[in-house]
Each structure stands twice: as C-alpha cells, then as structure tokens.
C-alpha cells in the first residue's frame, strides 16, 4: 500500500484502520479508512492544504470512538468525521480561529477524546487549551493563555494527581495542569516555566505526583512533582537530566 511521506501512525477500531495521510499529487490531507482484514480502502475524505516536505508531511495519529473520528493535520486543521461513513461533521482551523502558531516541523499534537469532549491545545494569544463538543465542534470551555505560551509538538495527557483529574501539557514556554472536572473545569491549576525551544515528547506520569518532561536540541529532560496543599496545586523541579 502506498502512503505519503511522514510519521503519522494508524489507529485500529472495530475492524477498521484510520490514518491521516498526505496526498502530494492532490496537495491534500487525506483521512483514510481501511479494512483491517484485507487493507482495501473503505472511504477517503480529503481537503486541500499546501504542505512542503519538512522531514515528511504527515505527523499525527487520529482519535476515534463509535461516535467520532478526529484528526489534526500538519498545518493545524482539526477535522471531525463520522467514523462509519466518513461524512464531515465539523472542522477548526486553529491558526485562523485561535491564532495558533504552526510548530517548527508542523503539528505533532495528537488529539484527545475524553467522553464527549475533544481536548485541544491551540496555544494562541487568548486560548492555551480548550474542549469542544465532539458532535458539534462548539467550544465547551477554554483555558486563558495567561502565561503566553505556544503550541508544541507534544500531546495533552490526562492524569489524576492528589485525587484531582487534570490535563497536563508541555507547551513551548512551560508545563501546565488544567482542571478536567468539577466546577472549575478548564481552569489553570498549576504552571511551571521551562525555556525549552523544541518540545516533542508528551508528559509521562510516574506516580506520587511525579511527571517526566523531555525536550530536544540540548535541553534534556526533567522530573517534576506536583503537590496539593489546601486545594492549591504547585509544581517543583526535582532534578534535571542533561542531553547525554
């Protein structure tokens, strides 16, 4: 089977394989649904976007449930389709709609479906993170970008720390934890500045409030710990690792 050049990965769901490909001939992101049994293409949904080769074109892994299939393309286009038929549901251009800045090597953020929500991190001037209704694409809540941080290649990871469910994200500028439930859902619970230029790995939870954060190009990584005291969360650096 021929595929466009890139690093995108497939996801398997209910006997089908979903993949965000790039069609160089058509100059289009191509969301493809294949049969797991024999590899035949069941349907394809494409949209025009001009992408030049920059260590390949495609990057991300789709997210899918019985109700929705969502993808994010190399130039920050979010698309939701019916996973059975491929019919278009809704779309968001995070650069146009939220002022996101396209990361250096295109969008690497893999989307998170959490219940009926799709969780995104535009990293725009006003919105750092947000949830949209998976069936309509309408915003449910937004996290103000008070730190002024930007979209990285990293993905949002759900975690429970000190009994609190939260979304943790390594942005360009620092690491944040955002409330994922309760009356303050979407609120910034804690933040920790980190001046790393290129962040691709996603945060790794290690228990007891510890999270490992990694970056590239000489930054190495660090272990942080998130603590709660009287309902207030704060993060501290336990130790750093050099690049070697």
How does residue 19 score in pLDDT terms, banded at 50, 70 and 90? very high
Please compute the mean of the pLDDT values over residues 176-205 and round it to a whole number: 94
How does residue 229 score in pLDDT terms, banded at 50, 70 and 90? very high
* Residue 233 pLDDT exceeds 90: yes
Query: pTM higher than 0.85 for the full model?
Result: yes
**Residue 174 has what pLDDT?**
95
Please state, in angstroms and rounded to a whole number, the distance separating the CA atoms of residues 175 and 229.
19
**Residue 5 has what pLDDT?**
83
Question: Cα separations (Å) of 173 from 193, 194, 195, 224, 225?
Answer: 6, 5, 5, 15, 18
**Residue 116 has what pLDDT?**
97
* Residue 55 pLDDT exceeds 80: no
pLDDT tens string 138-187: 999 999 999 999 999 999 999 999 999 999 999 999 999 999 999 999 99
Q: Are 177 and 189 in contact (CB under 8 A)?
A: yes
* Residue 124 pLDDT exceeds 70: yes
How does residue 41 score in pLDDT terms, banded at 50, 70 and 90? very high
Query: In this structure, what is the dihedral angle of CA atoms 38, 39, 45, 50, given to the nearest 10 degrees?
Result: -170
* Residue 83 pLDDT exceeds 90: yes
**Residue 244 has what pLDDT?**
65
How does residue 1 score in pLDDT terms, banded at 50, 70 and 90? confident
**Residue 89 has what pLDDT?**
97
């Amino acid at each position: 089977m021929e595929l466009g050049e890139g690093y995108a990965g497939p996801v398997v769901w209910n006997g089908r394989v979903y993949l965000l490909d790039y069609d160089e001939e058509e100059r289009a992101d191509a969301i493809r649904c294949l049969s797991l049994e024999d590899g035949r293409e069941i349907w394809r949904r494409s949209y025009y976007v001009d992408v030049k080769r920059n260590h390949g074109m495609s990057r991300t892994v789709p997210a899918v449930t019985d109700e929705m299939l969502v993808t994010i393309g190399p130039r920050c286009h979010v698309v939701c389709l019916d996973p059975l038929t491929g019919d278009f549901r809704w779309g968001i251009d995070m650069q146009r709609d939220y002022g996101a800045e396209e990361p250096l090597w295109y969008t690497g953020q893999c989307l998170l479906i959490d219940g009926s929500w799709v969780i995104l991190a535009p990293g725009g001037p006003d919105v750092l993170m947000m949830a949209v209704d998976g069936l309509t694409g309408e915003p449910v809540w937004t996290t103000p970008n008070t730190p002024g941080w930007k979209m990285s290649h990293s993905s949002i990871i759900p975690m429970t720390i000190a009994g609190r469910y939260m979304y943790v994200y390594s942005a360009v500028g620092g690491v944040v934890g955002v409330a994922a439930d309760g009356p303050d859902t979407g609120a910034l619970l804690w933040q920790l500045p980190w001046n790393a230029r290129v962040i691709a790995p996603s945060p790794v939870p290690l228990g007891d409030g510890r999270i490992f954060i990694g970056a590239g190009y000489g930054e190495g990584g660090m272990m942080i710990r998130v603590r709660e005291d009287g309902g207030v969360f704060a993060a501290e650096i336990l130790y750093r690792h050099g690049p070697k």
